[in-house]
Structure 1
Amino acid sequence: MRRIIAVAVACLAGVGLLSTPASAADDEQIIFRFKDRRITESSGLAVSPLHEGVVYTHNDSGDGAVFYAVGSDGRTRATYTLRGVRAQDWEAMAASKDPVTGQSTLWFADIGDSLDRTRPDVSIYKVAEPRVLRDATVSATRYRFSYEDGPRDAEGVMVHPRTGRLYVVSKEFSGGLYIAPKRLRTDRVNVLRKVGGAPPMATDAAFAPDGSSFVIRTYAYASLFRAPDDLIVKILMPGLHQAESIAYTLDGEALLAGSEGVNSPVWRVPMPSEVVQDRRSPRLR
């Protein structure tokens, strides 16, 4: 059974927490294990907006610019390669859907810089979600980024479902939440601006499908936020070999959590009931 700690007042760095118990849930479960032996270090996870029951993942550094479409049985449905792209240190991915056109997009974040934090800029690639699940090479648009306060190691990327704004979460003992410019440019480096803190050593992040909250993952916890520096709850996550990825289910009522390793599991962790009720409340709409 997992413990859920409701947090009344906190900063994103986890200092000065004031907590009260919240309802616990015992219905978390492993929904599948990756069966593809090529998926050795699943580092990013996103639920497909287009294909029912499909999630996407990619490996950490050491693999090429490749991502996998995986069915609910854990079997790979298709493998895609980004044309002309070199993967230096892929750490995260996100999926978004244009509210006007309905076009779904996948984002792949080559943002790792764990050795010496000397990369002058990092890259995030935008790919139109494939409409057909079959092996293919796909085109990608590259956006380069730098941080306003100097190089950072990062493993979290997320896209707001209403505004389309891109966010990056750094992986540090005193982490940061950074927002990208509203209009991304391919002809120059885009500057990431810090808008809040982040829990120590964050490994992934994701927005709720309705944009009402976002989650930042660490090795032990998932922290839910209403806005930057506005923490709602901390959820103790299932024990994983190396907890790397997080995503919301399409209905926003559970989290999916993944790990590195061959045959690694993907867990479904229900949201606390009070969080689901608040999300459904008219005052949040």
Structure 2
Amino acid sequence: MGDVLVRTLAGVGVAVVLPVTPAFAVGTPAVPASAVSTAAGSTPGLLAPAEVTPAAAEGSLAEGRPAAATPAAGSPAAEGTPAEGERETVAFRISDPRITESSGLALSPTREGVVYTHNDSDAGPVFYALDDDGKTRATFTLRGAQARDWEAMAASRDPATGRGVLWFADIGDNFDGAWPDISVYKVMEPGTLRDATLPAVRYRFTYEDGGHNAEGIMVNPKTGRLYVVTKQFAGAIYEAPRRLRASGTNVLRKVGSAPIMATDAAYAPDGSSFVIRTYFSATVFSGFDEQLAKVSMPAMDQAESIAYTRDGTALLTGTEGADSPVYRVPLPAKALPSPSPSPSARAEEAAEPAEDQESTPASATAADAPGGITGRDILLWLAVALGATGVITFIARKTR
């Protein structure tokens, strides 16, 4: 019986000790590159590229501020207030003395560091290209266009060519129906930033339910569709036809409601949401009549314009007046764009075996694990092995 007991205990000892080896050999699992936080050093600029990184979605915003922690339920950030440490700042001031009624604002869809703006009524069909410190780089005039009451602008990309497209909205109507129609001008973004006169295509519109005063337009970057937002106590969002006609009149149809006295609107760069500005605040929507978050706005003399930064993590908002400031307002966490997987992350996901496929044994990947078997691992394994051997020897002697 003693020999049987020794063999039995020896088998138990082997079963206990040997599995320890591959466990130590594997060591600490490798961390995929996609799982490493990119917050360190990730500080997209004011007009940073539109690609959204995980760090940006977590709150890593412009001007070198650190990434904000994920807000807890019920915290100010979760309820629509920017995270602690994120505050509105003056991005730049419009210093050109000719720009005294900046009424529209849009970032260049193709050039980093360029912002476009225009004056309100009675200033002619002119718009300006500014750099990100507010200085005018070029002045452009639209050939054959009118500027009855320019109130807003938007920017998009031509899906066929990738060129930038600028839209200027002559949609102001303080008498809610004084004009028989309104106009929006489409201009291809200039190839060079030098003063020039540019050709424009004019699209005429009427509302399906009569005239309205309006001060906001936006273009969905996913579909290229144009929307007009009215400025009224019972404001609304009107959708333009999918295909616009330069001859004849296009009919705008109501698709949603808008906050009281809306002064501008803009789509997020990824098309996942849009914002509507009023004199006192801004509201981010995930869809028509689907409110996502309210954003407090800085006090201004006459708040007129709003646009997203290129990375979609903040808003730029401006006002009329000489030497007018343009503020950068960070978005609350719930209104940030969803991060898109990076190419490396997508490649890693594609390389991972499916759930119904046989996984590679841990022992086969030991050589690939960072660090492999360390000296500490070997000493620990030897201690366990010697301990088990000692117990077996002691019991074997007792059973003789």
Contact 2:316 2:327 in 1 (8 A): yes
Within 5 A, what are the aligned runs for 1:61-76?
61-76=121-136
Is 1:85 aligned to 2:132, yes or no?
Answer: no
* CA distance in 1 between partners of 2:203 and 2:81 (Å): 42
Find out whether 1:126 has 2:182 as its counterpart.
Answer: no
Task: Tell me if structure 1 keeps the 8 A contact 2:216–2:263.
Answer: yes
Aligned twin of 1:258: 318
Offset, 1:67: 0.1
Instruction: State yes or no: 1:210 paired with 2:270.
Output: yes
| Counterpart pick for 1:272 among 313, 318, 332 | 332
SS of residue paired to 1:234 = strand
**1:8-27 correspondence to structure 2 within 5 Å:** 21-25=79-83, 26-27=86-87
Match of 1:6 in 2: none
Amino acid at match of 1:75: K
Deviations 1:229-255 (CA, angstroms, capped at 9, x unpaired)? 000011110111100000011111110
Query: What is the TM-score with the length of structure 1 in the denominator?
Result: 0.89
Give the partner amino acid of 1:33: R
Matched, 1:226 2:286: yes
Deviation at 1:281, TM superposition (A): 7.3
How has the CA–CA distance of structure 1 residues 154 and 104 changed in structure 2, closer, same or farther, with 3 Å as cutoff?
same
Q: In structure 2, do the counterparts of structure 1 residues 21 and 91 end up closer, same or farther at CA, with 3 Å as the change threshold?
A: same
Aligned residue pairs total: 262
- Structure with the bigger percentage of strand: 1
Q: CA deviation at 1:259?
A: 0.4
Q: Residue in 2 aligned with 1:40?
A: 100
Q: For the Cα contact (< 8 Å) 2:176–2:212, is it kept in 1? A: no
> For the aligned residues, what is the CA RMSD?
1.4
Shift in CA distance, 163/24, structure 1 to aligned 2, threshold 3 Å: closer
CA pair 73-24 structure 1, distance change in 2 beyond 3 A: closer
Contact 1:207 1:214 in 2 (8 A): yes
What SS does the aligned partner of 1:203 have? strand
Cα deviations by residue, 1:109-144 (Å, 9 ceiling, x for unpaired): 000001352211000000000010010000000000
Aligned to 2:51: none
* Structure 1: runs of 5+ lacking an equivalent: 1-19
Sort the Cα spacing of 1:159 and 1:271 in 2 relative to 1 into closer, same or farther, 3 A: same
Q: Matches of residues 100-139 of structure 1 in structure 2 within 5 Å? A: 100-139=160-199
Deviation of 1:23 (Å): 4.2
SS in structure 2 at match of 1:274 = helix
Q: Does 1:249 align with 2:285?
A: no
Which protein is bigger by CA-based radius of gyration? 2
AA in 2 matched with 1:62: D
CA deviation string 1:191-240 (max 9, x = no partner): 00000100000000000011000000000111000000000011110111
Residue 198 in structure 1 maps to residue 255 in structure 2: no
**Aligned counterparts of 1:23 and 1:65: Cα–Cα separation in 2:** 38
Alpha carbons 2:79, 2:293 under 8 Å: kept: no
Matched, 1:28 2:88: yes
Shift in CA distance, 52/281, structure 1 to aligned 2, threshold 3 Å: closer
- Equivalences for residues 232-243 of structure 1 within 5 A: 232-243=292-303
User: Per the alignment, in what secondary structure is the counterpart of residue 126 of structure 1?
Assistant: strand
Whole-Å Cα distance in 1 between the matches of residues 176 and 230 of structure 2? 14
Measured in 2, the distance between the counterparts of 1:57 and 1:275 equals 25
Structure 1 residue 273: Cα displacement: 2.0
Change (3 A) 1:274 1:93: same
2:82·2:331 contact (CA, 8 Å) conserved in 1?
A: no
Checking the alignment, whether the CA contact within 8 Å between 1:91 and 1:156 is kept in structure 2 is yes
Corresponding residue number in structure 1 for 2:244:
184
Output the TM-score relative to the length of structure 2. Answer: 0.64
Matched with 2:52 is: none
Report the identity percentage.
Answer: 63
| Mapped pair 1:154 → 2:205 | no
Is the counterpart of residue 59 in structure 1 residue 119 in structure 2?
A: yes
Matched, 1:98 2:153: no
Counterpart CA distance in 2 for 1:56 and 1:281 is 28
Deviations 1:85-118 (A, max 9, x none): 1210000000001344211100000000013522
**The residue matched to 2:103 in structure 1 has which SS?**
strand
